């Protein structure tokens, strides 16, 4: 028993000495790695970088990144430190070996380890290789992305092993493409098959260079016609695929623009169909909805998502109340006089614009998009769908579906359809047309406010925001058919796509002129639009 107790005491005494010796050995090895960087010879520094990568030290990446950033320096007392902030006379530093904060040091007491452009390129590749072993998937993906076009003969062999071991398909595909680009530069025609169909810009650059025979100095064969022909064929296939993706992107942007036009025009279609009123202040109701979103963000700072959600009912309510005020204050006295109504509502639009300039500011305001509406979904290397436009499209369809339910499933919708088709007959059946006018104008104005909420996520908010959409809204209403919801949806999406197709080669102004001429010619053939109204009033 005594011998066993003595043995345990001996182990407890020896263990700290062993751990200390092991720690000291690790520190000495790390110091040797860093000291190899502090030499005058750049080739020797390159070898030291390779040694750091091969060391598999836990702080290897940190050293390499600090060296690349110019923050790895050596103090006068011989210690290696990393500068945390290089502004001012005294810089805060930490120990490069342990990460321990060492306070501040004068920049005169520090000597930076210099590197040249060749070493910078080597460091970027080395950091990418180190990141490939990281458990963080996003870090590995970013690293594989950086290696495209940067692989040399020394990296080729370890990359092959990494491709076989990598579990993420996206990372392994990028590494395979990076390796294929290197092999293509060496004149291997088999590498073209790996790059076939890729839409990544660096892959296209590599194939273009191969097709023209413009290999760099690493190439073994410079002008192999087999490689050039294969690369050219791959490029032709990729260009066709790129055109298809550009068409898909144009369609997506056109649908997003069209969804905004639908939101902007659908309220106008309702009021114009029921009351026959040409409301030139409709654009300013859109503007009020956008400013409501901005105001909600001022009331809820730091919470753009909650502010946007609350802006939907708030924007509808503000615009609806403004619409009721316009209808009760002006329009009810001008029924049956379309020219006077047009001039009066145009004057109201100018008043609302000036009111916003006076009360808020003539300057544009920026509405912050919430995190769940930021960024994009990458379909492939050439096509990304922005989330904010996707949400706007979904929002427009949701508003359209809600309006369709209101018109088809509620008493208000039934009365609106009755008044739209034949106002006199609706009155004779006991429908209070004045009440219907008020509620319809409020509904149409509220939807305009919702359009402003959506627009605030796509553009800046300003006093002239609504003026950019009022003419387009009228074109949508006329093209789709006055008072018809389905016509407004089809016309809005169609005009949005047509505008987006024409703008790249005709310009924004000429594109609108072409669309306007098209609508004029179309109205000559179908005066009531795509989906004409039904009823005796419409026929008359």
Q: What are phi and psi of 280, to 5 degrees?
A: -75, -10
Q: How far apart are CA 351 and CA 348, in angstroms?
A: 5
3-state SS class at 365:
strand
- Is 140 inside any structural domain? yes
Quick: pLDDT tens for 165-190.
777 888 888 888 888 888 888 888 88
**CB under 8 A, 24+ apart: contacts of 71-79:** 72/34, 72/37, 72/96, 72/112, 72/113, 73/110, 73/111, 73/112, 73/113, 74/38, 74/110, 74/111, 74/113, 75/105, 75/109, 75/110, 75/111, 76/109, 76/110, 76/111
Are 187 and 264 members of one domain? Answer: no
Are 304 and 415 members of one domain? Answer: yes
Better-predicted residue by pLDDT, 428 or 463: 463
3-state SS class at 489:
helix
What element of type H or E holds 442?
A: helix 433-455
Inter-residue contact 481 to 247 (CB < 8 Å): no
In the predicted structure, residue 5 carries a pLDDT above the cut 70: no
The last residue of one of the domains, among 57, 87, 117, is 117
Are 407 and 335 members of one domain? Answer: yes
- Is 5 inside any structural domain? no
- Report the percent of the chain where pLDDT is more than 70: 90
- Is 239 inside any structural domain? no
Tokens 């080729």 belong to residue = 156
Q: How far apart are CA 23 and CA 17, in angstroms?
A: 10
Inter-residue contact 290 to 465 (CB < 8 Å): yes
3-state SS class at 117:
helix
Question: What average pLDDT score do residues 253-275 get?
Answer: 84
Q: What is the CATH number of the domain that holds 447?
A: 1.10.3470
Inter-residue contact 145 to 378 (CB < 8 Å): no
Are 73 and 154 members of one domain? Answer: no
pLDDT at 152 (0 to 100): 73
pLDDT at 21 (0 to 100): 38
Are 390 and 504 members of one domain? Answer: yes
Please tell me the total count of domains within the chain. 3
Better-predicted residue by pLDDT, 161 or 301: 301
Are 271 and 299 members of one domain? Answer: yes
Better-predicted residue by pLDDT, 465 or 16: 465
**What is the Cα gyration radius of the chain?**
34
- Is 463 inside any structural domain? yes
Quick: pLDDT tens for 367-376.
888 888 888 8
The model's confidence at residue 322, banded by pLDDT at 50, 70 and 90, is very high
- Is 353 inside any structural domain? yes
In the predicted structure, residue 51 carries a pLDDT above the cut 50: yes
pLDDT at 214 (0 to 100): 60
- Report the percent of the chain where pLDDT is more than 90: 12
Are 283 and 362 members of one domain? Answer: yes
Are 281 and 404 members of one domain? Answer: yes
In the predicted structure, residue 293 carries a pLDDT above the cut 90: yes
Q: Structural domain of residue 47, as residue ranges?
A: 23-117
- Is 293 inside any structural domain? yes
What is the spatial order of strands in the sheet that 80-83 belongs to? 101-106, 90-95, 80-83, 72-75, 110-112
The last residue of one of the domains, among 190, 223, 256, is 223
Can you give the pTM of this predicted structure? Answer: 0.74
In the predicted structure, residue 486 carries a pLDDT above the cut 80: yes
């Amino acid at each position: 028993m005594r011998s066993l107790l003595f043995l345990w005491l001996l182990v407890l005494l020896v263990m700290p000495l062993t751990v200390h010796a092991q720690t000291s050995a690790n520190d000495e090895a790390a110091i040797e790695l860093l000291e190899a960087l502090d030499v005058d010879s750049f080739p020797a520094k390159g070898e030291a970088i390779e040694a750091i990568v091969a060391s598999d030290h836990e702080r290897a990446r940190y050293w390499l990144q600090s060296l690349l950033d110019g923050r790895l320096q050596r103090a006068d007392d011989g210690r290696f430190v990393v500068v945390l902030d290089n502004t001012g006379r005294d810089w805060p530093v930490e120990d490069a070996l342990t990460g321990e904060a060492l306070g501040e040091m004068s920049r005169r007491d520090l000597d930076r380890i210099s590197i040249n452009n060749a070493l910078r390129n080597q460091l970027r590749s080395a950091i990418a290789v180190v990141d490939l072993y990281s458990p963080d998937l996003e870090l590995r993906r970013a690293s594989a992305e950086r290696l495209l076009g940067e692989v040399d003969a020394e990296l080729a062999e370890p990359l092959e092993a990494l491709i076989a071991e990598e579990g993420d398909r996206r990372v392994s595909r990028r590494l395979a493409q990076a390796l294929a680009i290197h092999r293509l530069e060496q004149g291997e025609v088999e590498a073209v098959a790996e790059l076939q169909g890729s839409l990544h810009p660096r892959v296209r650059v590599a194939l273009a260079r191969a097709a023209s025979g413009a290999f760099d100095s690493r190439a073994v064969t410079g002008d192999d016609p087999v490689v050039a022909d294969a690369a050219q064929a791959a490029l032709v296939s990729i260009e066709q695929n790129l055109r298809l993706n550009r068409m898909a992107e144009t369609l997506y942007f056109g649908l997003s623009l069209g969804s905004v036009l639908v939101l902007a025009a659908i309220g106008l279609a309702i009021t114009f169909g029921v009351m026959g009123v040409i409301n030139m202040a409709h654009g300013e109701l859109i503007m009020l909805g956008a400013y409501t979103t901005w105001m909600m963000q001022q009331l809820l700072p730091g919470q753009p998502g909650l502010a946007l959600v609350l802006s939907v009912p708030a924007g509808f309510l503000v615009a609806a109340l403004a619409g009721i005020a316009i209808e009760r204050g002006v329009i009810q006295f001008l029924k049956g006089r379309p020219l006077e109504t047009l001039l009066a509502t145009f004057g109201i639009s100018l008043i609302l614009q000036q009111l916003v300039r006076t009360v808020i500011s003539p300057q544009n305001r920026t509405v912050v998009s919430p995190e769940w509406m930021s960024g994009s979904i990458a379909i492939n290397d050439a096509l990304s769908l922005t989330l904010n436009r996707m949400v706007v499209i979904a929002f427009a369809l949701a508003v359209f579906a809600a309006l369709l339910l209101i018109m088809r499933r509620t008493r208000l919708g039934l009365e609106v359809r009755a008044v739209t088709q034949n106002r006199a007959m609706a009155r004779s059946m006991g429908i209070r047309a004045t009440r219907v006018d008020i509620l319809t104008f409020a509904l149409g104005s509220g939807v305009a406010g919702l359009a402003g909420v959506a627009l605030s996520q796509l553009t800046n908010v300003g006093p002239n925001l609504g003026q950019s959409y009022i003419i387009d809204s009228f074109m949508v209403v006329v093209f789709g058919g006055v008072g018809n919801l389905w016509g407004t949806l089809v016309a809005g999406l169609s005009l949005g796509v047509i505008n987006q197709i024409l703008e790249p080669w005709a310009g924004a102004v000429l594109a609108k002129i072409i669309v306007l001429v098209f609508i004029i010619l179309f109205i000559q053939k179908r005066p009531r639009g795509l989906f004409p109204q039904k009823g005796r009033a419409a026929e008359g």
